[in-house]
């Protein structure tokens, strides 16, 4: 399957007509915390649009990001399970997840779950790779994921049913979007037994409204998701009674005032997350927690920024303020911690006839954990009308999260903040095929926080600072121009170094090579769209694996699409995380109005 798609990719590229400059149609908002064309953004940025989410049937943010270069996503099973994720060799604690520019529920405790975060109400997802502490603060060593919600959705309905009792329903309107997913996930293991306690159900609601208030454009949006599912654990310690219930809520108000030379934005928002876990120790020998636990996080934040534009550049400055509490409660043994962040930042962007450059700095105070100054600088140099060279260098940091500091039987209050120096260099040429980029990135982190086994007799883990880590890698990303409706894409990430410099060993769960290959067809007749994709991850920890997925969308009527989706066509029996098997070949049938 991989070879077949590669032949088609190379064939389409060879048959492409003479290249011409691509129009400046792609705009991003996360890279510079303001509207910017993708070609002018110095920081490496990738976009997953609403059209791509619908075409490929992505139901979670993690699924939507999995095929992007240098993004690592390793789920603990089918939909409903948790996942490990990171950017450029980092872990989830070093990646800042935002919703409409503000931290997602769970940011204080590093409990943001991309594997279960629904795409309901999502307009686009932007992934900015590399250190983002200057503009966004703690937790952005590896990058920033900004989930931008929909404010102009057309009316529509999508219904789906598939293997393993997997069914879903989504309702869309301009101001309200709702979805419901239910899955038994009772798949067969290699020994013929059925994986127990993997069922999942989630309901998600997103609402938004806009108005003009004086000289400000105001947008109010809110999101709520509630899910419940089994948490069976690894195969060797399968728990048939472990259950987890999550509630994630967020809301914010954005006020924007625009003048010919400036744009002032004020955002105020809040988030709340509740995670409940329980199992039955009387009947379940692998129930590791005999009493119910409840972890709660609440957060309020205020962001204010101003962008002043001139003929030769743009000045951005602003403040970020937030306060919150995190409480962990396990049968009366609890911890409560209050966290606060206060920061001010400034960034100057210079525009010249050869391109642009920027320099910025942030000062942030994270309560009792201390403060940090985070400078950064970068450039985007035009080598021709189609080619450019982009580079960035920055210092980034991460304050220990509440779970690492205070979680009962686990936290370590003596942890020090992580501090990193990050850099990247990328060559981009839109005239080759339909766009090609080749990049290098590096990350040297001091006081890296890892979870270590401190008591092998009682099997007790705790987070510790291990000293120094060095990460380096290469990325290649290419796509073809449309040819008779066909487009092909390919990206490869070579994480050739991910080293714990103290132990002189490779950092865990970082495959050396990860590749994604895709072929898509956009039609105008009965066949509305079709495509196939291959995701391959090299071995480190779990064995290497390759998974192939495909879809076919048929136009049943002017407003109705029928889509057949197939996952893991090769029926690969693999584990993205050791001890947590993934299901074999599955199918889904989808009916939608668009």
pLDDT in tens, 251-290: 999 999 999 999 999 999 999 999 999 999 899 999 877 7
Q: State the DSSP string of 225-250.
A: EEEEEE----GGG--SS-EEEEEEEE
- Alpha carbon separation from 65 to 25, 103, 124, 148, 155 (Å, rounded): 21, 18, 11, 14, 25
Q: What percent of the chain has pLDDT over 70?
A: 93
Please, which residues bridge with residue 349 across strands? 314, 358
Radius of gyration (C-alpha) of the chain in whole angstroms: 23
Would you state the pLDDT for residue 336?
Answer: 82
Q: Say which CATH number the domain at 364 has.
A: 2.40.170.20
Rounded-to-integer distance, Cα 36 and Cα 314, Å: 11
476, with CB counted inside 10 A (0-12, 13-18, 19+), is: middle
Would you state the pLDDT for residue 523?
Answer: 86
pLDDT tens string 60-109: 999 999 999 999 999 999 999 999 999 999 999 999 999 999 999 999 88
Confidence of residue 156 (pLDDT cuts 50, 70, 90): very high
Rounded-to-integer distance, Cα 449 and Cα 463, Å: 6
pLDDT tens string 343-354: 999 999 999 989
More confident residue, 141 or 288: 141
More confident residue, 22 or 122: 122
Q: What share of the chain is helix, strand, coil (3-state, %, to 5)?
A: 10, 55, 35
Is 134 in a helix, a strand, or coil? helix
The most confident of 2-16, 191-205, 442-456, by mean pLDDT: 191-205
What contacts 431, CB < 8 A, 6 or more positions away? Answer: 19, 20, 21, 384, 386, 387
The answer to whether 271 and 262 are in contact (CB under 8 A) is no
The answer to whether 44 and 117 are in contact (CB under 8 A) is no
Which letter does DSSP use for residue 370 in this model?
-
Of 169, 288, 164, give the one whose Cα is nearest residue 231.
Answer: 288
Predicted TM-score (pTM) of the model is 0.93
pLDDT tens string 414-423: 899 999 999 9
- Which residue carries 């779970």 as its tokens? 403
Span 216-232, average pLDDT: 96
Would you state the pLDDT for residue 154?
Answer: 81
Rounded to the nearest integer, the mean pLDDT of the chain is 90
Would you state the pLDDT for residue 142?
Answer: 95
Using the predicted structure, report yes or no on whether residue 467 has a pLDDT greater than 90: no
Of 405, 370, 375, 390, give the one whose Cα is nearest residue 441.
Answer: 390
Which letter does DSSP use for residue 81 in this model?
S
Would you state the pLDDT for residue 167?
Answer: 96
Using the predicted structure, report yes or no on whether residue 164 has a pLDDT greater than 60: yes
The answer to whether 41 and 548 are in contact (CB under 8 A) is no
Q: What percent of the chain has pLDDT over 90?
A: 73
Domain that holds residue 42: 2-593
Structural domains counted in the chain: 1
Rounded-to-integer distance, Cα 402 and Cα 501, Å: 26
Confidence of residue 567 (pLDDT cuts 50, 70, 90): very high
Rounded-to-integer distance, Cα 129 and Cα 140, Å: 9
Longest dimension (CA), the chain: 73
The answer to whether 592 and 553 are in contact (CB under 8 A) is no
Would you state the pLDDT for residue 457?
Answer: 62
The answer to whether 94 and 142 are in contact (CB under 8 A) is yes
Please, which residues bridge with residue 166 across strands? none
């Amino acid at each position: 399957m991989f070879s077949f798609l590669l032949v088609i990719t190379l064939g389409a590229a060879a048959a492409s007509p003479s290249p011409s400059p691509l129009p400046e149609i792609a705009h991003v908002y996360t890279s510079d915390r303001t509207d910017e064309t993708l070609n002018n953004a110095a920081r490496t940025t990738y976009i997953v649009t609403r059209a791509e989410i619908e075409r490929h049937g992505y139901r979670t943010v993690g699924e939507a990001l999995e095929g992007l270069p240098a993004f690592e996503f390793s789920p603990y099973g089918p939909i409903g399970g948790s996942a490990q994720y990171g950017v450029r060799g980092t872990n989830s604690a070093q990646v800042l997840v935002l919703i409409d520019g503000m931290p997602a529920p769970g940011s204080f405790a590093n409990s943001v779950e991309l594997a279960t975060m629904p795409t309901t109400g999502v307009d686009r997802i932007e992934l900015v790779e590399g250190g983002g502490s200057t503009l966004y603060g703690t937790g952005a060593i590896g990058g920033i994921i900004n989930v931008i919600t929909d404010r102009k959705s057309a009316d529509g309905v999508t219904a789906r049913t598939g293997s393993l009792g997997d069914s879903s329903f989504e309702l869309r309107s301009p101001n309200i979007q709702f979805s419901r997913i239910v899955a038994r996930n009772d798949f067969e293991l290699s020994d013929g037994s059925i994986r127990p306690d993997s069922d999942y159900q989630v309901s998600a609601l997103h609402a938004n409204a806009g108005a003009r208030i004086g000289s400000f454009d105001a947008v109010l949006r809110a999101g709520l998701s509630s899910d419940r599912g089994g948490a069976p654990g690894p195969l060797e310690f399968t728990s048939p009674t472990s259950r987890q219930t999550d509630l994630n809520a967020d809301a914010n108000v954005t006020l924007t005032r625009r003048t010919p030379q400036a744009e002032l934005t004020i955002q105020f928002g809040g988030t709340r997350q509740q995670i409940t876990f329980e199992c039955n120790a009387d009947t379940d020998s692998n129930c590791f927690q005999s009493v119910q636990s409840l972890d709660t996080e609440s957060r309020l934040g205020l962001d204010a920024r101003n962008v002043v534009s001139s003929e030769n550049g743009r000045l951005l400055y602003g403040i970020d303020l937030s306060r919150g509490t995190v409480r962990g409660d396990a049968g009366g043994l609890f911890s409560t911690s209050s966290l606060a962040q206060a920061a001010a930042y400034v960034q100057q962007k210079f525009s010249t006839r050869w391109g642009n450059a920027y320099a910025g700095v942030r000062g942030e105070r994270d309560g009792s954990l201390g403060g940090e100054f985070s400078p950064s600088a970068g450039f985007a140099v035009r080598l021709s009308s189609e080619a450019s060279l982009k580079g960035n260098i920055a210092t980034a940091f991460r304050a220990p999260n509440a779970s690492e500091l205070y979680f009962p039987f686990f936290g370590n209050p003596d942890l020090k903040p992580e501090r990193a120096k990050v850099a990247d260099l990328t060559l981009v040429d839109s005239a080759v095929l339909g766009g090609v980029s080749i990049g290098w990135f590096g990350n040297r982190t001091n006081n890296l926080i890892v979870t270590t086994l401190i008591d092998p007799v009682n099997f007790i883990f705790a987070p510790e600072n291990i000293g120094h880590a060095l990460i380096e890698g290469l990325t290649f990303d290419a796509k073809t121009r449309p040819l008779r409706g066909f487009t092909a894409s390919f990206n490869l990430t070579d994480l050739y170094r991910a080293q714990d410099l103290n132990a002189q060993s490779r950092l865990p769960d970082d495959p050396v090579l990860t590749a994604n290959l895709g072929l898509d067809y956009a039609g105008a007749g009965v066949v509305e769209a079709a495509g196939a994709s291959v995701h391959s991850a090299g071995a480190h920890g779990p064995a290497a694996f390759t998974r192939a997925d495909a879809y076919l969308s048929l136009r049943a009527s002017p407003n109705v699409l029928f889509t057949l989706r197939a996952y893991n066509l090769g029926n690969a029996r693999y584990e993205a995380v050791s001890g947590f098997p993934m299901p074999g070949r599955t199918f889904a049938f989808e009916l939608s109005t668009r």
